[in-house]
Amino acid sequence: MQKEKGRTPKNKQTMVSEKFKVRQVWKYANRNGEDSSTLTILKIEKYEKGDTIIHIRVDNVKINSPQSATGYTNFIGHLPYSEIAISKSVTSLVGQNENLPDFSEGYNQWKEAWDNGKAGYWTIELKEAIDGIDKALQSKK
């Protein structure tokens, strides 16, 4: 899986992308059988080295989940993503989510690791990342 490693930014600021806005819901080039899948933009950050990270949630997917009673989950609660990779993955804006789900646990874990140089963000097409996550979790069953 391709990820960029974290850097400790001195002057992080929340940023508003020209194309992307918090609460937007997008269709994207999805995996086979997941045509109703969407991504929701949860948070957008720009770091001093020019990196723009878009934090997303993905719904209506079928992901292996060893902790679930059914063995699957239908969402990914938090993924940090490069703006460029998201731009290449999305196909159409389908709406707004006025009631964003709480993503603080996943974000805070990522942010702590990011600040310590131990986390990164995704730079590949979203469907490839979802497939990689799914396969990694399948091996933990």
Q: For 35-45, how does the pLDDT look when each residue is reduced to its tens digit (9 = 90+)?
A: 999 999 999 99
Domain that holds residue 93: 3-138
% of the chain beyond a pLDDT of 70: 87
Tell me which residue of 49, 119, 40 sits closest to 86, measured CA to CA: 40
The confidence score (pLDDT) of residue 50 equals 67
Q: Which residues of the chain have pLDDT under 50?
A: 1-16
The confidence score (pLDDT) of residue 16 equals 45
Dmax of the chain from CA atoms?
44
The confidence score (pLDDT) of residue 141 equals 59
Residue type, 134: D
The 3-state DSSP class for residue 19 equals coil
The confidence score (pLDDT) of residue 3 equals 46
Tracing tokens 């719904």 back to the chain, one arrives at: 59
Instruction: Tell me how far apart the alpha carbons of residues 63 and 73 are, in angstroms, rounded to a whole number.
Output: 5
The number of distinct structural domains making up the chain is: 1
Strand residues in the chain grouped as ranges (E): 3-5, 13-14, 24-28, 38-46, 52-64, 72-82, 90-96, 120-122
Within 10 angstroms of residue 64's Cβ, the number of other Cβ atoms is: 17
The confidence score (pLDDT) of residue 139 equals 77
The confidence score (pLDDT) of residue 9 equals 41
Tracing tokens 């709480």 back to the chain, one arrives at: 102
The confidence score (pLDDT) of residue 67 equals 86
The confidence score (pLDDT) of residue 6 equals 45
Beta bridge partners of 25: 40, 95
Within 10 angstroms of residue 37's Cβ, the number of other Cβ atoms is: 20
